[in-house]
Chains A and B, each alone.
Chain A
Amino acid sequence: MEYTSMTLKELSQLIHKREISSLELTENYIKKIKEKDHELGAFITVSEESAIKTASWIDEDILSSSSEKLHPLVGIPVAIKDNLCTEGIKTTCASRLLQNFVPPYSAEAVMKLKKHGAVIIGKTNMDEFGMGSSCENSAFGITKNPLDTARVPGGSSGGSAAAVASGLVPYALGSDTGGSIRQPASYCGVVGMKPSYGRVSRYGLIAFASSLDTVGPITRDVISNAAVYDAIAGHDPKDSTSMRGCAETVVDKIENGSVKGMRIGIPFSLIESHTDKKIKNAVMSAINLFSGMGCKIIDIELPDPALTLAAYYAISSAEASSNLARYDGIRFGTRAEDCLSIDELYKKSRSIGFGDEVKRRILLGTFLLSREMSDRYYKKALFTREAIKQDFDKLFSACDVIITPVSPGLPYHIGKYKTEPSARYSEDIFTVYASLAGLPAISMPVCKDASTGLQIGIEIIGRFREELTVYQSAYALENEIKNSERRCENDI
Chain B
Amino acid sequence: MKEKEPLKIDKDMIEELCEFSMLMPPEADDELVRDIEGLLNILSPLDSVSTAEAITECEEDTVMREDIALPYCEAESFLSSAPEHTDGYIRVPRTVE
Binding site for B on A (CB under 8 A): 101-104, 237, 240, 244, 304, 306-307, 309-311, 313-314, 317, 321, 325, 328-335, 339-348, 350-351, 354, 359-360, 362-364, 366-368, 370, 376-377, 379-381, 383-384, 386-387, 389-390, 420-423, 425-426
Contacts and interface: CB of A to CB of B under 8 A. Distances in A.
B35 A422 contact: yes
B23 interface: yes
Given A307-B46, A335-B83, A380-B46, A422 B23 contact: no
Given A307-B46, A376-B47, A421-B38, A346 B63 contact: no
Given A244-B63, A332-B82, A376-B47, A346 B22 contact: yes
Given A104-B81, A359-B23, A380-B46, A367 B36 contact: yes
Give the residue among A346, A367, A379, A389 with the most B Cβ atoms within 10 A.
Answer: A367
A28 to B, nearest CB: 34
B81 A331 contact: yes
Contact of B49 (A103, A317, A384): A384
Instruction: Report, nearest first, the 7 A-B pairs whose CB atoms are least far apart.
Output: A422-B38, A335-B83, A332-B81, A346-B22, A386-B55, A351-B24, A380-B49
A306 B47 CA distance: 12
B17 A363 contact: yes
Given A342-B92, A359-B23, A313 B39 contact: yes
Contacts of B41: 422
Give the residue among A311, A346, A380, A387 with the most B Cβ atoms within 10 A.
Answer: A380
Interface of B: 3, 13-14, 17-18, 20-24, 26, 32, 35-36, 38-49, 51, 54-55, 57, 60, 63, 65, 73, 77-78, 80-84, 90, 92-96
Give the residue among B38, B44, B60, B78 with the most A Cβ atoms within 10 A.
Answer: B38
A330 B55 contact: no
B88 to A, nearest CB: 13
B46 to A, nearest CB: 4
A360 B46 contact: no
A344 B49 contact: no
A330 B90 contact: yes
B35 A380 contact: no
Contact of B93 (A339, A384, A420): A339
Given A313-B43, A364-B39, 14 more contacts: A306-B42, A307-B45, A332-B82, A332-B83, A335-B84, A341-B96, A342-B93, A363-B14, A376-B47, A379-B51, A383-B55, A421-B35, A422-B39, A422-B42
Give the residue among B46, B54, B57, B65 with the most A Cβ atoms within 10 A.
Answer: B46
Contacts of A332: 81-83
A175 B36 CA distance: 26
Contact of B21 (A311, A321, A329, A334): A321
Contact of B20 (A354, A366, A390, A422): A366
A383 B51 CA distance: 7
Given A310-B44, A351-B24, A420 B38 contact: yes
Given A104-B77, A307-B45, A422-B39, A350 B55 contact: no
Given A237-B65, A330-B92, A340-B93, A310 B14 contact: no
A237 B66 CA distance: 11
A389 B57 CA distance: 10
Contact of B60 (A244, A341, A425): A244
A309 B42 contact: yes
Contacts of B21: 321, 350, 362-363, 366
Contacts of B42: 306, 309-310, 313, 422, 425-426
A133 to B, nearest CB: 14
Contacts of A423: 38
A163 to B, nearest CB: 27
A91 to B, nearest CB: 11
B36 A363 contact: yes
Contacts of A341: 93-94, 96
A320 B21 CA distance: 11
A240 B23 CA distance: 31
Nearest to B82: A331
B36 A342 contact: no
B80 A360 contact: no
15 contacts: A101-B81, A103-B81, A104-B80, A104-B81, A237-B65, A244-B63, A310-B45, A329-B83, A334-B83, A345-B93, A360-B36, A364-B36, A370-B20, A384-B49, A387-B55
